[in-house]
Amino acid sequence: MATAVTPGEVAIAPSSKAFTALSEKLKEIQAFSGISGLLGWDEMVMMPAGAAGSRGAQKSALAGLLHERKSDPAIGELLEQLQREEGQGADAFRAAAVREAAREYRKVTAVTKDLAKREAEHETEAYQTWVKARQASNFSLFAPALEKWVALRRERAALIDPGKPVYDVLLDDYQPGLTSARLDSIFDQVKAGLVPLLADLRARGTPPDTAWLKGEFDTDAQAALCREIALTLGFDLEKGRLDVSVHPFTGGAHPTDVRMTTRFKKDSLLEGLTGTVHETGHALYEQGRNLEYDGLPVNEAAGMGVHESQSLLWERMVGLGRPFAAYLLPKIKAAFPQLPQDRTAEDLYRAVNEVLPRSLIRVEADEVTYPLHIILRYELESELVRGDISVDQLPELWNKKMKEYLGVEPESDAQGVLQDVHWSYGLFGYFPTYSLGAMMAAQIFEAARKDLPDFEAEAAAGNFSKLKAWLNKNIHQVEVGSLYPSADELLEKVTGSPLDPSILLEHLKSKYSELYGL
C-alpha cells in the first residue's frame, strides 16, 4: 500500500539519497526504542526483583544512547538539506516523516545536557516525595518538589520554543498541534454540558441495579474469559502476547511484537473486563500500524489523545454498549455460575453504566464524571504553569472545583490533590489526552457506525471484525500515524470535521437520560 494523499505531487525528489540516509538513522533509533519498550515490559511482567539495580544501569545506558543518536548532528544536516529540497515535490508521507523527524530533533537538541540531568535527578526524588506525602496525606510535603517541577518545565519550554506559551510547548509532547486556547474552549463546552447533566442524574435519576454483579470471582476464570474477549476483538497472538501485571498496560517492541497486560481482582468482575477491552483497543492500534512506513516517525501514533481514542472507543463506545452486553452476558454466566442466571442483557447493560457522581477518585470514575476530573486537573496545571496560581493554592482550589464540578469534597489530600502520580513525574499536559481520547472516540465511532449498518447485530453475536477492519483502514493504515500535523486534521479527514466535543456530549446526554429515566 502506497497511498499518497495528494497523488499529483508524488515524485522521487532529488534528495532521495538524503532521505535514505535519514531513514537509516531513524530506523536505527526506532530499533533501539523498540528494545527499550521490551525492557520496560520485561521489568513489569517478567524480571526478578533482584535485578532492579542491573536493569537500571541497562536502561540508563540505553537512554543515553537514544539521546546520543537522536541528537546526532548528521540528522540535523540531513533535515536541513531535505527541508530545502522538499518544496521541489515529495509525497505527503515523506514530507510528514521529515516534518516529524525535525520536530523531534529540534526538541532533543534544544534541551541542554545540564537540564536533562537535573530533570532526571528530580524525577526520582519528586516521585519518592510524592509517595511519602500521599502516605502522610500531607500536600505541603510534596509542594517544594512540585514547585521545582514547574520551574524545570518552564526552563525546558523556554529552550524548545520561547515564543510559545509554556503549557502549549509541554502539550505538544502528548498531542501535537494542540494549544491551551483550543483546550480552554473545548473544556468549557464540555463542562457546560456535563455539570448540569450530572446534577440532573443525581437529583432525579434512578440508578441501575448493580448488586447482582458483586461477589467473588475466581481470577483464573476471569483471565481465561478476558483472553477470549481480547482475541474475539481482534488481538493477534502472532504479533503480540497477553500477560498479567500489577498495572495493566500495552507496550512492546514493535507493531509485530505488542505486549498487552491485564490484571484481575477477586472482588471485581468489571475491572478486569474493562481493563482488557481498553488495552485491546491500544493493542489493535499498535498491531494495525502501517508497516510500509515502519521505523519512520510518520508511522508513530498521532499523539496520546488519538491513541487513547482507540482504547476508549473499544472500552466505552463498544464495551459499554447494548450489543456488547448481549455478547457478554452468556459468557459471564457460563464462567461464573454463581451469578443470577435470570438476568438479561439489558440488566447487564444498565449495571455496567452506573454513574458514580460521588466518587472522589479519577481512576474509578465513569464516562460521565471522568471528563470533569480531567478538566479540574487541566485548569489547575495550566494556571500553575502560567503562573496564575501558586503551588500552595492547589489543595484549596482542588477541593473547591471538586465541589463545583462533581458535587463532592475530598476529606484528605490523599483522596484529593495527591491522588495521581502524574505531577510527581512533572507531567503537565498529559491529563487532557484522556478526555481528548474520549471525545475523539465518540466522533470516530459515530463515523464508523455510518459505514457499518449491521454493527449492532454483529457485535451482539460476538463479531467485531468489521469495526476492527474499519479502524485499521481509516485510523491505523491509510491515515497512517502522524501523517497529519494535528488530531484535528486527522479527524477532519476521517470524520469530516475537526474535533467536535458536542458528539460526546450528545452521546452522554441521550444515553444517560434514557438509562436514568430523566
The residue among 189 and 256 lying less far from a copy of itself, judged by its C-beta, is: 256
d(CA 81, CA 232): 48
Minimum CB distance to a copy of itself, residue 20 (Å): 16
Q: CB-wise, 54 or 135, nearer to a copy of itself?
A: 54
Closest CA to 339 of 354, 349, 329: 329
Quickly list H helices, 46-179. Answer: 52-70, 73-86, 92-110, 113-136, 139-160, 166-171
Judged by CB, which is closer to a copy of itself: 432, or 481?
A: 481
Classify residue 475 as exposed, middle or buried by CB count within 10 Å of its CB (0-12, 13-18, 19+): buried
Residue of 279, 300, 308, 315 with catalytic role: 279
Contact between 273 and 255 under an 8 Å Cβ cutoff? The reply is no
DSSP code of residue 473:
I
Q: Among residues 42 and 383, whose Cβ is nearest to a copy of itself? A: 42
Helix (H) or strand (E) holding 207: none
**For 151-214, where are the E strands, in sequence order?**
none
How far is residue 497 from each of residues 117, 312, 375, 477, measured CA to CA in Å? 42, 20, 23, 19
- 10-36 burial code (b ≥16 CB/10 A, e <16): beebebeebbebbbebbeebbebbbbb
Which residue type is seen at 143? A
Residues forming the site for a copy of itself (CB under 8 A): 27-28, 31-32, 34-35, 38-39, 42, 46-51, 53-55, 57-58, 60-62, 64-65, 236-241, 253-257, 294-295
Select 34 or 485, whichever has its Cβ closest to a copy of itself: 34
CB crowding 134-172: b at 16 or more within 10 Å, else e: beeebbebbbebbebbbebbbbbbeebeeebbbbbbbbb
| In the complex, minimum distance from the CB of residue 499 to a copy of itself, in angstroms, rounded to a whole number | 32
| Beta carbon of residue 136, minimum distance to a copy of itself (angstroms, whole number) | 30
Q: Which is nearer to a copy of itself, 288 or 319 (CB)?
A: 288
367 is catalytic: no
Closest contact distance (angstroms) between CB of 40 and a copy of itself is 12
- Which cell numbers in the block locate residue 170? 509541554
Task: Please state the closest distance from residue 22 (CB atom) to a copy of itself, in A.
Answer: 16
Least distance to a copy of itself, CB of residue 65, Å = 7
| Integer Cα distance of 494 and 455 in angstroms | 18
Q: Active-site positions?
A: 279
